[in-house]
Amino acid sequence: MREDYRSQRSGHFETPLFCPEQWLDSLTTVAVWRLLILGLICIASLNWLFQANGIHNVGPLYMVPICIACWRFGFKTGMGIAVAEIILSLVGSLRVSGHLDASAMIELVMQLIKYGCAAGVVARFRQSFDRERLLARRDWMTGILNRQEFQRQAEVMLVSAAARNQSLLLAYFDLDGFKAVNDQFGHQAGDRLLQSLAEEGKSLIGLEDCFGRMGGDEFAVLMELSKTERALAVTEHLHAGFTAALERTGHMVTCSMGAVVALPGGSASLHELMRHADQLMYAVKHDTKAGFSLAGHTPPFDFESSMPPRPQTYSHQS
């Protein structure tokens, strides 16, 4: 597991310079509606201008607001925009010719059918897109973040914490004796154990924190600290919670944890924090097991007034 982490921890994924779907999803609901209304007004004005000059080929432009509405709000909203566009086209035809003949009505009906088909395709694609994106970001067995998504969200948390002068705690832990469970009771028993551990982790951290499976039986937690003095208590709480969850499985499995604090104003990268926590965790695993080791990443740092200032590491065995 450690080799797998080390071989992949420095990987980076190239992303396009501009992703329309990410831009749309980043807009507020009010901003999207403003965009839709402005688009309808502009396209309708252009349509009326073209109709007055005998040009009738701006209909495809109406597809843009429909697709945007379906992407953000779903099929029903997209169809509502489509109906609004048909009404605008109807008004435009009346302004130009003063009446509607049968061919014009048939054309409007065909446009509505065409818009409906497009709305259905976009809405269905959005559902598939969201499902695949969720699967790509979650560990298939436990339902928590996978390694790539954990790292992505952790990078965002580091930037946000630095801007707000906020401390973060990164805990990296590995299970002791997990291989024996798979060997003696089968992989289904091991899977259930990991799932139980993941459920416990969801209850131990907040919604704004990150909890992910790094691979195999290694997990990581990144959470904000209200103040640095709580680092030791939070680490003890995490380790005790995961230990209790493992005990409830009925298997002789414990966890070894390494934790580091990213201090306000520090320049440590996620790569450096992960490496430090990884080293602390394996030091515990190779020494006493079933314990944790806590350190500040940027010295000097005292976790408790009673703790010796150097080395800035606190170890505990359950």
Domain ranges in the chain are 20-137, 147-317
Give residue 56's pLDDT.
Answer: 63
Structure tokens at 22: 């990410």
Flag whether pLDDT at 222 surpasses 70: yes
Question: How many CB atoms lie under 10 A from the CB of residue 177?
Answer: 15
Q: Which residues contact 36 (CB under 8 A, 6 or more apart)?
A: 65, 68, 69, 81
pLDDT tens-digit readout, 170-204: 999 999 999 999 999 999 999 999 999 999 988 88
Q: Judge contact between 64 and 39, C-beta under 8 A.
A: yes
Strand 218-225, strand 167-176: pairing: antiparallel
For tokens 């509505």, the residue is 112
Q: Which residues contact 151 (CB under 8 A, 6 or more apart)?
A: 9, 270
Give residue 97's pLDDT.
Answer: 65
Q: Which residues contact 15 (CB under 8 A, 6 or more apart)?
A: none
Q: Does domain 147-317 have CATH number 1.20.1250.20?
A: no
pLDDT tens-digit readout, 21-62: 888 888 899 999 999 999 988 888 887 787 667 666 666 888
Whole-Å CA distances, 139 to 218, 235, 263: 12, 24, 29
Point out the least confidently predicted range of 61-70, 275-284, 302-311.
302-311
Give residue 287's pLDDT.
Answer: 86
Give residue 47's pLDDT.
Answer: 78
Inter-axis angle of helices 102-137 and 63-73, nearest 10: 40
Q: Give the span between the Cα atoms of 262 and 154, in whole angstroms.
A: 12
pLDDT tens-digit readout, 251-282: 999 999 999 998 877 777 899 999 999 999 99
Q: What share of the chain is helix, strand, coil (3-state, %, to 5)?
A: 60, 15, 25
Q: Give the span between the Cα atoms of 25 and 155, in whole angstroms.
A: 20
Longest dimension (CA), the chain: 90
pLDDT tens-digit readout, 77-89: 999 999 988 888 7
∠ CA 208-209-215, rounded to 5° = 140
Q: Judge contact between 316 and 292, C-beta under 8 A.
A: yes
231: enclosing H helix or E strand = helix 231-248
